[in-house]
C-alpha cells in the first residue's frame, strides 16, 4: 500500500524523535518516497543528517531555506504529498495544527496540505490528558485528522503511563490499514442518523434523551474516510459533526423520517444510530405553557418507527440498527433485528461504565440473523465505527436482508 506513495514525515521536538529514524527507514523500505520536515526543536534530539541518509532526500527545517527558485518549498511539498505523518507529535505541535498556526516549515506545510494527515502523539501522561490537549485532538479529529494513539510504558519523565510514542511498525501498520480502507466504500451512498430527537411541548420546552450524537458522527466520519458519499441526518447533539459530509439538521422524529425516506431509494447503506423518541405530545402549545396547579398531565402518542419503516421498504439497502438496552441485551437485540428487518444490529448496555450516552468510548455487540457476529470491548467510538463499517463492507455483495 505504501509503494510509490509520497509521504511527508514531520518530526517535532520530543525525546521520542529518535524513533523518527526507525519510522523513516520502515516507510522507505516499504517503497514510499519520504520527505522529512523537522522542527528546530527536533534537531536537538536527532540530527538532520540521520534522516537525510535514511530518506535519501534533503531534510527541511527552515521555511526560508528555499533551494529551488522554481517552487515555494512548503507549497510544493504539500501539493505532492499523498499523506503526512507527524511522529512524534508534541502537545505544542498539536496545538499549532489545531489553531492553524504557520510559524515554521512543518506548520506552514500542514496549512497548505489537502492530503490526509496522521498524528502520533507523544508526551507526558498528564500533558496528554490535559483538557486543552484533549480538546485540540477532538477538534483535529472532527476535521478528519487520524490519530495513532500512544502506548503505555516507561516515559522519559519517569512515569509508567500512557504517552509514549507508538512503535514505528505500529504506525506503519496503521497507515497501511487506513490506505487500504480508503476504497472500501468507494462509490457507495451512506445515510447515517445521529443524536436525539426533540418533541415539542411548547416553543421553549421539549421531550428528548441523553444522546450526544458522537457514535453516529464517528460512523459518518469513518464512512467518508472509506470513500463513501455520506449524508448525515442529525437531531439534537452535543458534539461537532465531521467535516465534508452532507449534513441535514432535523428536530423531531417526523422530520428525521421525512429526511431519511426522501433519500432512501438511492442509498446503499443506512446506519440508524439516532436515539429517536418513542412518543410525542398529542397537543403542542403555540405559546409557552404557564404554571397552573400542582400537577400537569401530558397525553402522548407514538411517533413513527423510522427503523421499522426502512425495514419494510428495504430493497437493495444494507440496514444497520442500534439497540441501547439496560438488561437482556442479546434477547432484545435479536428481537429488534427480526422485527425491524435489519441486516445488523449494534447493541450496547448503556448502564455499563464507558458505554453510555455522552461517552467517548463504547462497548458493543454486533448481531445478524444468525446471532452474535462480534463482541467489541471498551474502545473509542471511532474504533467501533471503523470496525462496524469494515464488517458492512465485507457483507455488501451478499446483502439481501431477511423476511419481516
CATH code of the domain covering residue 305? 3.40.50.10300
Percent of the chain with pLDDT over 70: 95
pLDDT at 153: 60
Residues 200 and 175 in one domain: no
Residue 403 placed within a domain = no
| Residue 105, burial from CB neighbour count under 10 angstroms (0-12, 13-18, 19+) | buried
Residues 255 and 320 in one domain: yes
State the Cα–Cα distance between residues 212 and 239, nearest whole angstrom.
Answer: 6
Residues 138 and 197 in one domain: no
State the Cα–Cα distance between residues 17 and 42, nearest whole angstrom.
Answer: 6
Residue 404 placed within a domain = no
Domain at 175, CATH number: 3.40.50.1950
Omega before 88 within 30 of 0, i.e. cis: yes
Residue 197 placed within a domain = yes
The average pLDDT across 96-116 equals 93
> 3-state DSSP call for residue 78?
helix
Terminal Cα distance for the chain, rounded: 42
Bind-site residues = 278, 288, 322, 336, 340
State the Cα–Cα distance between residues 163 and 125, nearest whole angstrom.
Answer: 5
Residues 217 and 334 in one domain: yes
| β partners of residue 85 | 9, 118
State the Cα–Cα distance between residues 107 and 113, nearest whole angstrom.
Answer: 10
pLDDT digits (tens, 9 = 90+) for 344-398: 999 998 888 877 787 878 899 999 999 999 999 888 888 899 899 999 999 986 4
Nearest to 86 by CA among 150, 131, 159, 152: 150
Q: What is the mean pLDDT of the chain?
A: 90
Is 364 in contact with 215 (CB distance < 8 Å)? no
**End position of a domain, from candidates 181, 202, 225:** 181
Bind-site residues for CTP = 278, 288, 322, 336, 340
pTM value is: 0.70
The average pLDDT across 188-207 equals 95
Q: Which residues contact 328 (CB under 8 A, 6 or more apart)?
A: none
Domain enclosing residue 103, as ranges: 6-181
What are the residue ranges of helices labelled H in 40-80?
A: 48-55, 73-80
Is 215 in contact with 201 (CB distance < 8 Å)? no
pLDDT at 404: 33
**End position of a domain, from candidates 181, 203, 224:** 181
Residues 219 and 155 in one domain: no
Residues tagged active-site: 157
State the Cα–Cα distance between residues 200 and 161, nearest whole angstrom.
Answer: 47
Q: Which residues contact 184 (CB under 8 A, 6 or more apart)?
A: 226, 227, 389, 390, 393
Residues 177 and 203 in one domain: no
How many domains does one find in the chain?
Answer: 2
**End position of a domain, from candidates 181, 203, 236:** 181
Nearest to 382 by CA among 221, 148, 239, 190: 221
Amino acid at each position: 500500500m505504501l509503494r510509490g506513495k509520497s509521504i511527508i514525515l514531520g518530526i517535532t521536538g520530543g525525546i521520542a524523535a529518535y524513533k523518527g529514524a526507525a519510522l523513516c527507514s520502515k516507510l522507505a523500505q516499504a517503497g514510499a518516497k519520504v520527505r522529512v520536515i523537522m522542527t528546530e526543536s527536533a534537531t536537538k534530539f536527532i540530527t538532520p543528517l540521520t534522516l537525510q541518509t535514511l530518506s535519501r532526500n534533503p531534510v527541511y527545517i527552515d521555511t526560508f531555506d528555499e533551494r529551488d527558485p522554481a517552487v515555494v518549498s512548503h507549497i510544493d511539498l504539500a501539493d505532492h504529498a499523498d499523506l503526512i505523518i507527524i511522529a512524534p507529535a508534541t502537545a505544542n505541535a498539536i496545538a499549532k495544527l489545531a489553531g492553524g498556526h504557520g510559524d515554521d516549515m512543518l506548520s506552514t506545510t500542514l496549512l497548505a496540505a489537502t492530503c490526509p494527515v496522521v498524528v502520533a502523539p507523544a508526551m507526558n501522561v498528564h500533558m496528554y490528558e490535559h483538557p486543552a490537549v484533549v480538546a485540540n485532538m477532538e477538534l483535529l479529529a472532527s476535521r478528519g485528522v487520524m490519530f495513532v494513539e500512544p502506548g503505555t510504558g516507561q516515559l522519559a519523565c519517569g512515569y509508567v503511563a500512557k504517552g509514549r510514542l507508538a512503535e514505528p511498525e505500529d504506525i506503519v501498520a496503521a497507515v497501511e490499514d487506513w490506505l487500504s480502507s480508503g476504497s472500501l466504500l468507494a462509490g457507495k451512498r451512506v445515510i447515517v442518523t445521529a443524536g436525539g430527537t426533540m418533541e415539542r411541548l411548547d416553543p421553549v420546552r421539549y421531550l428528548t434523551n441523553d444522546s450526544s450524537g458522537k457514535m453516529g458522527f464517528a460512523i459518518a466520519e469513518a464512512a467518508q474516510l472509506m470513500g463513501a458519499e455520506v449524508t448525515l441526518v442529525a437531531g439534537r447533539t452535543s458534539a461537532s459533526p465531521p467535516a465534508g459530509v452532507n449534513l441535514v439538521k432535523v428536530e423531531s422524529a417526523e422530520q428525521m423520517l421525512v429526511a431519511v425516506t426522501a433519500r432512501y431509494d438511492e442509498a446503499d447503506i443506512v446506519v440508524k444510530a439516532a436515539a429517536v423518541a418513542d412518543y410525542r405530545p398529542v397537543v403542542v402549545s403555540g405559546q409557552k405553557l404557564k404554571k397552573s396547579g400542582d400537577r400537569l398531565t401530558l397525553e402522548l402518542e407514538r411517533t413513527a418507527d423510522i427503523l421499522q419503516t426502512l425495514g419494510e421498504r428495504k430493497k437493495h439497502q444494507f440496514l444497520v440498527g442500534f439497540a441501547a438496552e439496560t438488561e437482556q441485551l442479546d434477547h432484545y437485540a435479536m428481537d429488534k433485528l427480526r422485527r425491524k428487518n435489519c441486516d445488523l444490529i449494534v447493541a450496547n448496555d448503556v448502564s455499563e461504565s464507558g458505554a453510555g450516552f455522552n461517552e467517548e468510548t463504547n462497548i458493543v455487540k454486533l448481531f445478524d440473523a444468525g446471532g452474535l457476529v462480534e463482541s467489541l470491548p471498551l474502545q473509542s467510538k471511532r474504533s467501533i465505527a471503523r470496525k462496524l463499517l469494515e464488517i458492512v463492507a465485507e457483507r455488501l455483495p451478499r446483502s439481501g436482508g431477511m423476511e419481516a
